[in-house]
Amino acid sequence: MNILVTGGAGFIGSHTVVELIAAGYSPVIVDDLSNSSPSVLKGLKNILGTDVPFYQEDCNDYVKMTEVVQKHNIQGIIHFAAFKAVGESVSEPLKYYRNNIGSLLNILNVMRANNVRNLVFSSSCTVYGQADVIPVTESTPKKKAESPYGNTKAIAEDILEDSVKAGLDFGIISLRYFNPVGAHPSAEIGELPIGVPNNLIPYVTQTAAGIREKLTVFGSDYDTPDGSNVRDFIHVVDLAKAHVSALNLLQEHTSEPYYNVFNIGTGRGNSVLEIIDTFERVNNLKLNYEIGPRRPGDVIKIYGNVEKAATEMNWRAEKTLEESMEDAWRWQKKISNL
Ligand code: UFG
């Protein structure tokens, strides 16, 4: 079955391409390379031993997307392609709404016109904001997003749910990702941030590699066991496999319009300081870090209840935090030639 993977040269997208092939699907990548590198395609080839069909196109382009869907007889889409820098979305909201919402609407229209029924959408635990009760379940109320980026995920979920409610012939699953970390154990693909990383793990690995002088821990006076923020850090290979499970589940629900949403995390919370400690311990090195002020907009703590995915999709994260930290460092060493 041919699956269009938008954003397939990105961090989560590229790992998902590997898992799709392992599960017998045939992925086709569309990526405009606006936040990814062609070197990812080489890494994929090294893992897979074969090229994956690739088109450098913008998902907002109806004609190009239609061409790819028709040429490859696409039967399902995984839509990763989106802008994701939280801070930039605050200063450039229209760029985020136009791209993230526009591309989703475009893809839904292409799907309708070409009888493509199945879609897996990249959502985020950001839709929960700072939840009152943790761990969050899928029925935990969504909160007003802290950023336009977060709002694009909340709005996208509403668009998808409304489309299915209206009886459009879609089978759609939104996956609410927690914090993806790690890299492929082969070190052929991993996270490739452009410029100064916003996210914790690339900042940690770049500091260890000497690219950044020092990591700043954004706050240690929160109401958490050690004072730093708590997140649910999930290995990107586990996260990638959740997309295969979602596609499999969609094939069990073909008789009527179907929409569902799943938390995709480990079910565990780890603090930023625990991450640093684990990274140092498993990789046997010392990280230069300091405690700094809080970062505006950070939720204090969040992790997910992931039983729904286990029960209904037969999916569960399997890798440990230690493996995530080892794989992240192996990848950084590879790209830094260390
Ligand atoms: N952190 C630091 N120092 C850093 C970077 C991060 O202490 O240099 C801390 C943050 O304060 C936070 C934790 O590490 O407590 C994780 O931060 P990330 O930026 O890695 O990820 P977030 O939890 O902030 O996640 C956000 C959104 C997601 C989005 C993700 C990717 O909530 O929806 O960024 O951009 F997908």
The confidence score (pLDDT) of residue 318 equals 98
Contact 156, 175 (CB under 8 A): no
Ligand 1, atom 14, residue with closest C-alpha = 200
Tell me whether residue 303 is one of the annotated catalytic residues. no
Of the listed 55, 128, 149, 303, which one is catalytic? 149
| Model confidence pLDDT, tens digit, residues 81-116 | 999 999 999 999 999 999 999 999 999 999 999 999
Q: Is the peptide bond before 135 cis (omega within 30 degrees of 0)?
A: yes
Report the alpha-carbon distance of residue 76 to residue 79 in Å, rounded.
Answer: 10
Please give the number of the atom of ligand 1 that sits closest to the Cα of 275.
14
The confidence score (pLDDT) of residue 48 equals 98
Ligand 1, atom 32, residue with closest C-alpha = 126
The confidence score (pLDDT) of residue 65 equals 98
The confidence score (pLDDT) of residue 4 equals 99
The confidence score (pLDDT) of residue 202 equals 98
Decide the pairing of beta strands 171-177 and 230-231. unpaired
Residues ≥6 apart with Cβ < 8 Å to 247: 1, 3, 20, 25, 76, 78, 118, 120
**What tens-digit pLDDT sequence spans the chain (338 residues)?**
999 999 999 999 999 999 999 999 999 999 999 999 999 999 999 999 999 999 999 999 999 999 999 999 999 999 999 999 999 999 999 999 999 999 999 999 999 999 999 999 999 999 999 999 999 999 999 999 989 999 999 999 999 999 999 999 999 999 999 999 999 999 999 999 999 999 999 999 999 999 999 999 999 999 999 999 999 999 999 999 999 999 999 999 999 999 999 999 999 999 999 999 999 999 999 999 999 999 999 999 999 999 999 999 999 999 999 999 999 999 999 999 99
Ligand 1, atom 6, residue with closest C-alpha = 200
Q: What is the dihedral of CA 304, 140, 138, 17, to 10 degrees?
A: -60
Residue 268 in 3-state DSSP? coil
Instruction: For residue 149, report the distance from its CA to the centre of ligand 1, in Å.
Output: 13
The confidence score (pLDDT) of residue 209 equals 98
Instruction: For residue 189, report the distance from its CA to the centre of ligand 1, in Å.
Output: 21
Question: What's the distance, CA 40 to chain centroid?
Answer: 16
pTM of the model: 0.98
| Model confidence pLDDT, tens digit, residues 253-297 | 999 999 999 999 999 999 999 999 999 999 999 999 999 999 999
Ligand 1 contact, 295 CB (< 6 A): yes
The confidence score (pLDDT) of residue 10 equals 98
Instruction: For residue 108, report the distance from its CA to the centre of ligand 1, in Å.
Output: 30
Contact 174, 123 (CB under 8 A): yes
Q: Which of 70, 68, 60, 256 is nearest to 172 (CA)?
A: 256
The confidence score (pLDDT) of residue 107 equals 98
Ligand 1, atom 20, residue with closest C-alpha = 199
Ligand 1 contact, 88 CB (< 6 A): no
Alpha-carbon distances, residue 123 vs 55, 265, 294 (angstroms): 23, 12, 25
Crossing angle, helix 321-335 and helix 272-283, to 10 degrees? 70
Q: Please state, rounded to an integer, the average pLDDT across all residues of the chain.
A: 98
Residue to substitute in 206, 298, 325 for testing ligand 1 pocket (most ligand atoms within 8 angstroms of CB): 298
The confidence score (pLDDT) of residue 32 equals 98
Contact 31, 8 (CB under 8 A): yes
Please give the number of the atom of ligand 1 that sits closest to the Cα of 201.
20
Residues ≥6 apart with Cβ < 8 Å to 84: 35, 149
Contact 253, 291 (CB under 8 A): no
Residues ≥6 apart with Cβ < 8 Å to 119: 76, 77, 78, 79, 107, 108, 111, 160, 170, 171, 172, 173
Ligand 1, atom 16, residue with closest C-alpha = 200
Please give the number of the atom of ligand 1 that sits closest to the Cα of 86.
35
